[in-house]
Amino acid sequence: MFPPIDLALLAALARRAGAEAQVADYPALGASWERYLADLREFKPDAVLFNVTTATIEADLAAARSAKEWNPGVWTIARGELFERGGEDLFERRPQLDIALYGDVEENFERLVRGESPASLNAIVYRDAATGRARRNPGRAVAMDLDGLPLPARELLDNSLYRSPETGNPLTVIVANRGCPARCVFCPAGAISDHKLRLRSPDSIVEELRQCIERFGIREFLFHGDTFTMNKRWLLELCDKIARAGLAADKAAGAVAAIRWGCNSRVDTMDRERADALRRAGCWVVAFGVESGDQEMLDRMKKGTRVEDAELAVAACREAGLATHAFYIIGLPWETRETLVRTEVFARKLDTDFFDFNIAYPLPGTELYDIAMAEGLTDAKLMAQGSYARAGLRTRTLSADYLTRWRRRALLKMYARPGYIARTLARAWRTGTLRHYLRAAFGRLRGLLAR
């Protein structure tokens, strides 16, 4: 589990606007609906904001309904990419919804908290007070000045809930950049945060790292965002400033504040110079969206990379002493048994330290969603049961059930390789993390066998 840094940031903005704020991560707490209702009664909010995803929409909207039952006058504010291209019909069927935000929601949210009318904002769906009908104000909501945002209000989170699965130490997320120039058909990043890469200043990121260390005792981080390594000059400057600040020193050498972190990357934005800089700055693992071992599939999904790019990127990281994590995506409309075989063979060849096969899901706002709807590759039942582990659509030649079963078998075979098991256990023993690896292994195995 990762902390809801987006909500902690919105809480900081609410405070800047003069409001009081609380953040509660009820799934992470394992809390009941009674706990949520008790919090409403105690805090007595004027507004409740909650994230909405396609997979969790019923529970998300139940939170809005409960708030309205507690106080019909409370504002219920939803946010999520499913409102990017629609949502008005949802308002018609769900009277508990007042406002929906999409894109980079920070500016709109702060303006709402300051008392501005929803009718004055762009990129918003809201219920008209006079008619009760849903209205949409189109436009883009993009935060261009990321340094102008406050640091997330981590003091409102129970940071002990979020721990590295490898070490068991507290872990948090750093959002260093937004936007992605790529236009992959399955990804909503462009719809949410635009197709232009925007970067925070290295100084602001180092400040956030220091705050996490000094105020919250957190020294493990994930740099969120698939484009973290895209701007080479910025990346090298950031890594240099982290190292010069003494944050990446070796603990064995007596450093108190040494940090350990991972990041995401595109395979065509990694080379040995970047990898060496990452290692010096305390990075230990880089995750790549490899996606497929079949070039035609990469081209059709508009990934903009070559199969060979993944081999070069992983080799550069290994030479620099970095672990690697590969994500593959299966089940796009053009997937066949033959392309699945090529992806599995390539995954074995690449032999990264960590890996996962995710099943494509037709998220609203993506080209994949439009294709799936136009070709009848999904329906309400499939989408309701779908996830990255259970297919929410079928391909032109393969059933949803086949994709779900293929993923399970492929992962079990990948994990069962004797050489992989020996290498992983050796690394866990060497780093003193064996019990965490074993716990994760049994949990993953139990989950795969249960499906």
pLDDT tens, residue by residue, 48-83: 999 988 778 888 999 999 999 999 999 999 998 888
Residue 71: count of CB within 10 angstroms of its CB? 14
**Which SS3 state, helix, strand or coil, does residue 75 take?**
strand
Q: Domain ranges in the chain? A: 5-137, 163-415, 417-451
**Which SS3 state, helix, strand or coil, does residue 136 take?**
strand
What is the reported pLDDT for 256? 44
- How many angstroms separate the CA atoms of 154 and 277, rounded? 28
Average pLDDT, integer, range 110-119? 95
Q: Which residues pair with 175 in a beta bridge?
A: 224
What is the reported pLDDT for 105? 93
Residue 128: count of CB within 10 angstroms of its CB? 12
Q: Any idea which of 42-46, 74-78, 190-194 has the lowest mean pLDDT?
A: 190-194
Whether 281 and 248 have beta carbons less than 8 Å apart is answered as yes
What is the reported pLDDT for 401? 96
What is the reported pLDDT for 251? 46
What is the reported pLDDT for 255? 42
Q: How many CA atoms does the CB half-sphere of 414 hold within 13 Å?
A: 27
Classify residue 250 by burial, with Cβ atoms within 10 Å: 0-12, 13-18, 19+.
exposed
pLDDT > 90 fraction of the chain, expressed in percent and rounded:
75
Helices 33-43 and 57-70: angle between axes, nearest 10 degrees: 40
Whether 161 and 25 have beta carbons less than 8 Å apart is answered as yes
What is the reported pLDDT for 250? 53
- Residue 200's identity, in one-letter code, is R
The verdict on domain 5-137 having CATH code 3.30.70.2860 is no
Q: In the block, which residue shows the tokens 């795969």? A: 448
pLDDT tens, residue by residue, 347-398: 999 999 999 999 999 988 889 999 999 999 998 888 888 888 999 999 999 9
Which residues does 145 contact at the CB level (< 8 Å), separation at least 6?
A: none
Which residues does 432 contact at the CB level (< 8 Å), separation at least 6?
A: none
Query: What is the average pLDDT score of the chain?
Result: 92
Q: Any idea which of 17-26, 190-199, 212-221 has the lowest mean pLDDT?
A: 190-199
What is the reported pLDDT for 254? 43
pLDDT > 70 fraction of the chain, expressed in percent and rounded:
98
What is the reported pLDDT for 350? 98
pLDDT tens, residue by residue, 223-269: 987 789 999 999 999 999 999 999 986 544 444 458 999 999 999 99
Q: How far is CA 219 from CA 84, 201, 322, in A?
A: 36, 20, 18
H or E element, residue 20: none
- Residue 214's identity, in one-letter code, is E
pLDDT tens, residue by residue, 332-343: 999 999 999 999
- How many angstroms separate the CA atoms of 78 and 52, rounded? 6
What is the reported pLDDT for 249? 64
pLDDT tens, residue by residue, 413-422: 999 999 999 9
- How many angstroms separate the CA atoms of 41 and 64, rounded? 14
Under DSSP, the state recorded for 159 is G
pLDDT tens, residue by residue, 259-298: 999 999 999 999 999 999 999 999 999 999 999 999 999 9
User: Can you say whether residue 28 is alpha, beta or left, with left for phi > 0 and alpha for psi between -120 and 50 degrees?
Assistant: alpha
The verdict on domain 163-415 having CATH code 3.20.20.70 is yes
**Which SS3 state, helix, strand or coil, does residue 264 take?**
strand
pLDDT tens, residue by residue, 123-169: 899 998 888 889 999 887 788 799 999 999 999 999 999 999 889 99
Residue 351: count of CB within 10 angstroms of its CB? 16
What is the reported pLDDT for 91? 87
What is the reported pLDDT for 451? 64
pTM of the model: 0.92
- Residue 402's identity, in one-letter code, is Y
Q: Which residues pair with 363 in a beta bridge?
A: none
Q: How far is CA 75 from CA 88, 251, 409, in A?
A: 17, 48, 46
Look at residues 447, 426, 283 and name the one whose alpha carbon lies nearest to residue 356.
447
